Amino acid sequence: MTPEQAYEELLRRMKELSLLGNTAGVLGWDQEVYMPSANAPFRAEQLSLLAGMCHQRFTDPVVGDLIAKVEGSSLAKDPLSNAAVNVREWRRSYDRSKKLPQKLVEEMSRVSSNAQVEWVDARKENKFSRFQPWLEKIVGLVKEQAECYGYKDHPYDALLEDYEPGLTCAQLDKLFPPLKERLSTLVKKIGSAPRKPDTSILKRKCPIPEQQDFCGKMVEAIGFDFGKGRIDVSAHPFTTGLGPADTRITTRFEETNFENSFFSTLHEGGHGIYDQNLPSTLELYGTPRAGAVSLGIHESQSRLWENLVGRSHGFWVHFFPELKRAFPGVFDDLSLETFHFAVNHSAPSFIRTESDEVTYNLHVALRYDLETALLTGKVKVADVPQAWNEAMKKNLGVVPPTDTLGCLQDVHWSHGSFGYFPTYTLGNLYSAQFFQAAEKEVGPLEGKFEKGEFTPLKKWLNERIHAHGQTYRANDLCKKVTGQDLSSEPFLGYLERKFGGLYGF
């Protein structure tokens, strides 16, 4: 078999895997948005069968042989060629999947499935002790995973690889401490600023059908293609790609929380725009060459549209009149400045997902510190509530009154997802760095937003980021696009300028 034949055969097999993987995607989407909940046990069996079939097909030793045939051949000579990129990523995933013993995979699946149920109840009852034994099991299994994968410096590095290939603690340890410091200073300045926004206006009653219309229009305005996607309602907003012309976003609506519904929709719209603009030719769809780089890069796209665009002054110069028309009588008495200040309110709070641009990364930093400490044993699971509250006091100056509002708030640990949280912060940092680079090339963007022009930014993202698929690792892409390694400077500069201006310091 020639390397060319091996590559063709790999493409054929991976195409089938992508058909199956997207089939599971449809089942998962349906489960969250439309399936009667009584059918959950049957759906779980379907998903488990498909997952097993995908795993078995991907880890077939023949796949390893085929990859080896292409590696080192002339096909993979140019590291930026489609074949080289695909084989590089297939190799990475193949080797990783071979490193975990089946028993460990099954044990994690079993434990996390139970742990989620217990987490839901522990959170409801505000009873950490109920979740504690499960978290202990999970930390144990996660440590085992890290040992199986192997690592150079820190066991956490082995886990980060699942979400942000190539990222290490060494990099995060350089990134987080100065970020925390500058953000804490900003939080204090905002706290003692003379001006305060009137956030009560965001709780005004907005009928849900009108919210749906308005949010749909906004997502379309920034560039989401409803000819190749749709928007539905689910308990927790998410985005999922189900085919080359089928990207689905979900959101939720609350009558007295327009802000949350709107920015959630814009956030998922950003994820959706990334997904819709990855390569979608029949040859490449479903291969790494046509895939997203990492969770961090994906999050950069959602945060960019949600915050750097959606919370900008220019955006509301254009859309505030339309908002007033969409909700007659609700916002009529407000000035643009009052409204824009309100959607940029900032104050320490307990819940990460409800926090603002300034405080968000302090929540993430806390989780990063805690996860690494749990892995090395510096913090015991039994001490998590105390450690959590101390870090909240230190990072944000507030202590949650209950564990439900504290260490029990996130679902990630019950899934066994250690190493996921830092990608949220990477997303925020990348978003600002990309935005800065876009303005250098396209010119100032706020003025365009004022005129409702979002295509120049979208086109820039399409060409500079989306079109590359997984050709470059996250930091390489960042360097190629912005000329520099990932840095928190653009993000901090953006925050300090915007919030200094709004709060008057």
Binding site for a copy of itself (CB under 8 A): 16, 19-20, 22-23, 26-27, 30, 34-36, 38-39, 42-43, 45-46, 49-50, 226-230, 232, 242-246, 285
Q: Smallest distance from the beta carbon of 254 to a copy of itself, in angstroms? A: 21
CB of 27 to a copy of itself, least distance (A): 6
268 as an active site residue: the answer is yes
Q: Is the Cβ of residue 36 or residue 61 nearer to a copy of itself in the bound state?
A: 36
* CB 22 to a copy of itself: min, Å: 7
Active-site pick, 164, 268, 306, 371: 268
Which residues are CB-contacts of 255 (< 8 A; sequence separation ≥ 6)? 205, 206, 207, 208, 211
- Which CB sits closer to a copy of itself, 1 or 245? 245
Alpha helices in 223-359 (DSSP H): 258-277, 295-303, 313-326, 336-342
Minimum distance, C-beta of residue 13 to a copy of itself, in the bound complex (Å): 12
- Both tokens of 223, joined, read 């560039």
The smaller minimum CB distance to a copy of itself, of residues 244 and 348, is found at 244
Closest CA to 297 of 89, 493, 465, 481: 465
Question: Nearer to a copy of itself by C-beta: 17 or 474?
Answer: 17
Tell me how far, at minimum, the Cβ of 11 lies from a copy of itself, in Å: 14
- Number of alpha carbons in the 13 Å side-chain half-sphere of residue 270: 25
Give me the residue label for tokens 């190799």. 91
Kind plus residue range of the DSSP H or E element containing 8: helix 3-33
The structure tokens 């400490």 sit at 373
Type and span of the H or E element at 231: strand 229-233
Long-range contacts of the stretch 210-216 (C-beta < 8 A, 24+): 210/326, 210/327, 211/253, 211/255, 211/258, 211/261, 211/262, 212/253, 213/326, 214/262, 214/322, 214/323, 214/326, 214/327, 215/251, 215/253, 215/261, 215/262, 215/265, 215/266
Considering the complex, state which of residue 232 and residue 441 has its C-beta at the smaller distance from a copy of itself.
Answer: 232
- SS3 label, residue 348: coil
CA dihedral 276, 282, 287, 292 (to 10 degrees): -10
Q: Is 457 exposed, middle or buried (0-12, 13-18, 19+ CB in 10 A)?
A: buried
Nearer to a copy of itself, 227 or 328 (CB): 227
Half-sphere exposure of 417 (CA within 13 A, CB side): 14
* Angle, in degrees to the nearest 10, between helices 295-303 and 422-442: 60
Q: Determine contact, residues 17/57, Cβ cutoff 8 Å.
A: yes
Separation of CA 129 from chain center:
29
Q: Which is nearer to a copy of itself, 19 or 382 (CB)?
A: 19
Quick one: 22 or 344, whose CB is closer to a copy of itself? 22
Q: Nearest-CA neighbor of 371 among 411, 408, 420, 405? A: 420
- Residue whose CB is less far from a copy of itself, 243 or 456: 243
The amino acid at residue 11 is L
Sheet containing 246-251: order of strands: 229-233, 246-251, 239-243
From residue 27, alpha-carbon distances to 129, 237, 251 in Å are 34, 16, 18
Rounded to a whole number of angstroms, the minimum distance from the CB of residue 203 to a copy of itself is 27
**Which residues have C-beta within 8 Å of that of residue 200, sequence separation ≥ 6?**
none
**Closest distance between a copy of itself and the C-beta of residue 14, in Å?**
13
Provide the minimum distance between the beta carbon of 281 and a copy of itself in the complex, in angstroms, as a whole number. 12
- Rounded to a whole number of angstroms, the minimum distance from the CB of residue 244 to a copy of itself is 6
Active site residues: 268
